[in-house]
Amino acid sequence: MTPSPETQLTFLSKLQRLFSEGDFTATYKYALLISLSDLAVELGENDTLRITYRQLAAKFVELYWQQCAPYSNGGSTPGLLAQNMGAQAAVISAIIEFRTRNPSATVVAARSFDGYSALVQTVAATVAAQPVNYLQNLGGQLDPFLYERDRGCVVLKPGVAYCLRRFQPLVQQLARSHWIGHIKRNRLNQPLLGVTDDLESFLFETPRQALVVISAGLKKLTNGRCFYCGEPVQAADVDHFVPFSMYARDLMHNFVLAHPTCNRSKSNALAAKPHLDRWLEYITRNTDALQEIGQQAGRITDQGSSLAVARWGYSNAVSGGAMAWVSARQYVPVDQDYLRALA
């Protein structure tokens, strides 16, 4: 059942209070908010979700994996970014220890390595003891407006799963921008950051070398043709079928090869029904090949999550009366036919 407008406004108000009144001594709380909003989308349409600490821990490993590499703004000696104001964050230390023992592991391949289950268990204990325990402290008082704790999991309060899905881009944007601000304000990071930096790209975006691998794999898979117009393409872009601005997570099944002109024209819009139908057929027919490309690039490959994200994105578009991109300067309304195709 859709929460009332008042319930949704209360959620947004308390979310705002969380960022202004919460005690953020480390970046864990931002990671927890991102993980909760991601899982609310990827786990479907249930109103009351039970999210285990292990599910949250797997998200934390994915979020922090890239941040366990040395950072440099180009003029400084590379070094590890501090994620809290004191000793290095325990999650970072656990991931670094795992990566030291398994230097060839990517975040995707890590799941098949010995010790990965123990890593997730260690991170889950930290998540349960710290951000889960303290996230909902507003102005020095506990206000459990997001979830209640249960054995081995959190249980989202009624209406919260809906609000996390409905306002997922806002939650992501707020959490990421505050995360970046936290890193920048930390005096321990000043020698690494300098005056200018590409911190957001380093923290959250797909590394350039991974995009090169993805582009080469998609060119081979599609015979070098643009997914949208079908024409041969030389200097191709790797496009997010469901726009990155809408869902800021890189899933291999969401990547398609595109002409730069098609990519720029589509921009942050959802694709129209013919493109959606073709994408559904494309990810079904090529799921093994996409899995292989994802493994090579170290990107998450989860067809079920990609479909859940698409259902969520188009459902929001229907509710909001959005238009879908057909081609340059041509758009059509998003209607129930899109949701039926994704059912």
For helices 28-42 and 303-320, the axis angle rounded to 10 degrees is 80
Residue range 303-324, pLDDT digits in tens: 999 999 999 999 999 999 999 9
Q: Give 9's contacts (C-beta < 8 A, 6+ positions apart).
A: none
Q: Give 341's contacts (C-beta < 8 A, 6+ positions apart).
A: 273, 276, 277, 280
Q: What is the Cβ-side half-sphere exposure of residue 303, based on CA atoms within 13 angstroms?
A: 15
pLDDT for 47: 76
CA distance 282 to 286: 6
pLDDT for 281: 97
Alpha helices in the chain (DSSP H): 5-21, 28-42, 53-65, 90-101, 116-129, 131-134, 160-166, 168-185, 190-193, 199-204, 208-221, 260-266, 273-285, 287-297, 303-320, 336-342
Q: Which residues of the chain have a pLDDT value below 70?
A: 75-76, 195-197
pLDDT for 73: 79
pLDDT for 197: 64
pLDDT for 195: 66
In degrees rounded to 5, what are phi and psi of residue 249? -145, 135
